[in-house]
Structure 1
Amino acid sequence: MSFSFTAFLTILFFSSISIILMYFFLQNNKLIKGLGIGTLSFCIFVIVIRLLIPFEFSFENNLVCKRLFPKIIFFFKTPILKLNGHNICPLHIMGLIWLMGSIIQLSRAIIIYENFTKVINKFPAVKNSEIQGALRKVLQNYSKPMSFKIIQANLISTPMVLGMRKPWIVIPQIELSENEWYYIFSHEVAHYYHGDLLIKVIVELLCIIYWWNPYIYLLRGQVSKVLEIHTDLTATKSMGESKRIEYLECLLKIAKYHPSTRVNKVALNFDSENVSTLSQRFHIVLQNSNQKEKFKLKNVFFMVMPVLLLVVLSFCFVFEPYSISPKDASDTVELTKENSYLVKNQDNTYDLYVNNKFFGTANNIKNLPADLPIYKNIKEVRKDEKK
């Protein structure tokens, strides 16, 4: 296992196509229901894992590219200046910018999270019996109930869950009924038990590493959507139609509370970041029933397999620019009509001359450049030179 620039570009190429495909798949409600959110989650999972392991393996094969790719690699690896006796090329400069950007992004994320938690911790824990009762009712559905600390703060617009070891749920200062608090806690507690907090952290880490790649932010949106839909389906799976409608009304009420407020990115919140995702969640929850959609193998073949195939290809092949080794280049001659010509022999063979020097005899000239001059004898060559 090793890291190379060409392998890295290959991984980016296949992963970017996979992310685009997943984006279009997740726009289709029927597809989500037919394939199942678990299948789509697995596809996103393998994309994330591949991006976290941008290395070349010994079993991979090279795919030689002769057109644009060699020029790209040549540009990045061509020295542009010298520093303390070392050649500096665009690849070194881009690597330094990448590293500095990642450090800045990581520092920014840590500072924002610490400041956010420091401010939230100043608020007292909620003692309201109605809110606490709703949480206890939700935790009865789990065999290993955790102790969740509830904090109510006017700094946020939507409920969210934080903390992997000692979880706490932060709720906005809004008046809700006990049933509505039950729906909210059903959602946030499900996030915690699904391990969604860890997934969120991993995706944020990807965004820090690949901060310059726009497709990573597209992937983050897909992960967020999958997590929310999965949690909605978990929270409403035992509900009847009327209860599911109440759940969605609560979702809409929270979304209308203060939609312009930005929440912490490493938290998992009750509402969606945009109207289209919220609308999609409504449709999926309303269409969900205890009776599963009939499984169709062709859906998996035409929708899921292309994504998985692209990830597999990134493990099997590496794009490499076409090049000739220095040793071979020293023994190689490019035949052109300016430096080469042929002289036909009586036995229908051809003598090849390069720079007016005999190079060799060819029995067949089909593989030679078609525009090479052909002469009957050396005298004809000399006459042509005088002209």
Structure 2
Amino acid sequence: MITFYSFCWSVIISSICIIILILFRRNSRFLLNFNLPTLLFLFLLCMIRMLIPFEFPHFQKIIDSHTYSFIMKPYAILSAHYSYVLSAFIIIWIIGIFYFFYRFCKRIYLSNLYLHNLKKQTSDIAMMILAQIDAHHKLSAFYSESIEVPMVCGLFHSTIYLPTYNYTEKQLYHILLHEYTHYKNRDLWIKCIIQIFCIIFWWNPIVYLLCKNLDDVLELKCDATLAQDFKDEEKISYLETLLYTLRTVQNKQTLYTQKNFLTSAFIKPASENFTKQRFQYLLNGPKKHSHFLNYIGIVLISIFFFSSYYFLLQPSYEAPREELWGPKTTNVIDASNSYLVPKDAHTYFLYYNGNIIDEISAEEVNASFNYYLPIKNQEEK
């Protein structure tokens, strides 16, 4: 069952995970000790937690009568018009999804149109090197003066675009191997899925940080995949190719703009800190004990993920006792003398002093601030 509170709780938990992820991704020491699988696993859990905001019957509710109650007060005021507010929220959400999906498709179209009309020429030497890497590859390779950095693009017919720099054959091999690895790992498809995830949750600014940081993690993962087969001399040569490209871009007036969308570039000229992190990761590599710490990290993250489904944050309001007990007050229903017992999936029995006094719908329990009573099984009552 999905309720308003389970949805809000899911957004809160996912946002916390994303913030933790960003902090970890920016910390080179963490990457060297915990490796990339832990980080990618956390990415996956962030997405799953936000996509599955279910509430289960035996939730342990965390009642917050201060900060969270203050935040949720507008919802409480509008609870009488719950169905209308919910309908309006869903309509706005769907309109936003269609709008951002249209923008997404338009950007892909303009990017493909830009690359299609690009002045380019086939690179025979690049195709020869690609054949050495994989004789059965289905990639194309072109040179163009309008391209700033080497990149691969295209979900169905992937193409590598190369700038007209004076690369040596060894440097060209490193570049093509890097872009081929992106292609082989289906990184462009992963980026596409993340973009769709951002479209679905367009109203949450934190998911855009998730998208940006995932792009960086995929780049680090590509470097790590290559470094596994590189000797120290090969790593240095690979880093020199990165450095040469970076310096050439910075010293060149390029026609390239940010028109290219959904691509994997060899290097990001504007991201100096991330480039330094790539160098540190390639030179130092993950620690020998990182696999053990990796497993511990995955176990701890999994425990946090599943336990987040066991608890549910809800607001509450406790009226002053003098307001409850007036001169003519005989009974007050509260957690000390009352509780709820599920009758079926849609109804609860309300018990007062051990006796059934009413039936309450699940919708009313979830939507109203008035029912913050413990929920018990038939065996516990």
Give the TM-score band, short-chain normalised.
Answer: 0.7 to 0.9
Match in the other structure for 2:218: 227
- Mapped partners of 2:157, 2:232: distance in 1: 34
CA 1:34–1:71 in structure 2 vs 1: closer, same or farther (change >3 Å)? closer
- Superposition map of 1:1-387 within 5 A: 2-58=1-57, 60-76=59-75, 78-79=77-78, 88-89=84-85, 93-123=88-118, 126-139=121-134, 145-258=136-249, 261-262=257-258, 264-272=260-268, 274-288=271-285, 293-295=288-290, 297=292, 301=296, 306-322=300-316, 335-336=321-322, 354-355=326-327, 357=328, 359=330
CA 1:226–1:76 in structure 2 vs 1: closer, same or farther (change >3 Å)? same
Q: Per the alignment, in what secondary structure is the counterpart of residue 169 of structure 1?
A: strand
Structure ranking higher on relative contact order (CA contacts 8 Å, 6+ apart): 2
CA 1:159–1:296 in structure 2 vs 1: closer, same or farther (change >3 Å)? closer
Q: TM-score, normalised by structure 1?
A: 0.73
CA drift at 1:280? 0.2
CA drift at 1:249? 1.9
Superimposed CA distance per residue, residues 361-381 of structure 1 (whole angstroms, 9 cap, x where no aligned partner): xxxxxx9xxxxxxxxxxxxxx
Match in the other structure for 1:383: none
Say what the alpha-carbon RMSD is for the aligned residues: 3.3
CA 1:334–1:226 in structure 2 vs 1: closer, same or farther (change >3 Å)? closer
CA drift at 1:118? 2.1
Q: Per the alignment, in what secondary structure is the counterpart of residue 315 of structure 1?
A: coil
CA 1:59–1:203 in structure 2 vs 1: closer, same or farther (change >3 Å)? farther
Q: Per the alignment, in what secondary structure is the counterpart of residue 276 of structure 2?
A: helix
Q: Per the alignment, in what secondary structure is the counterpart of residue 162 of structure 2?
A: strand
- Mapped partners of 1:249, 1:213: distance in 2: 39
Amino acid paired to 2:262: V
- Mapped partners of 1:205, 1:339: distance in 2: 50
Is the CA contact (8 Å cut-off) linking 2:123 and 2:142 kept in structure 1? no
- Mapped partners of 2:105, 2:152: distance in 1: 17
Larger Rg computed on CA atoms: 1
CA drift at 1:339? 8.5
Amino acid paired to 1:22: L
Is the CA contact (8 Å cut-off) linking 2:133 and 2:177 kept in structure 1? yes
Superimposed CA distance per residue, residues 326-358 of structure 1 (whole angstroms, 9 cap, x where no aligned partner): xxxxxxx9741x886xxxxxxxxxxxxx42x58
Superimposed CA distance per residue, residues 91-132 of structure 1 (whole angstroms, 9 cap, x where no aligned partner): 655544433333222111111111111231234774332222
CA drift at 1:296? 6.9
Percent same amino acid at aligned positions?
A: 25
CA drift at 1:58? 4.8
Is the CA contact (8 Å cut-off) linking 1:158 and 1:271 kept in structure 2? yes
Superimposed CA distance per residue, residues 75-94 of structure 1 (whole angstroms, 9 cap, x where no aligned partner): 03534999xxx9754x6555
Is the CA contact (8 Å cut-off) linking 2:121 and 2:144 kept in structure 1? no
Is the CA contact (8 Å cut-off) linking 1:18 and 1:310 kept in structure 2? no
Structure 1 residue runs of 5 or longer lacking an equivalent are 325-332, 341-353, 361-366, 368-387
Q: TM-score, normalised by structure 2?
A: 0.74
Aligned length: 326
Is the CA contact (8 Å cut-off) linking 2:3 and 2:54 kept in structure 1? yes
Structure 2 residue runs of 5 or longer lacking an equivalent are 251-255, 332-336, 338-381
Match in the other structure for 2:365: none
- Mapped partners of 2:108, 2:211: distance in 1: 18
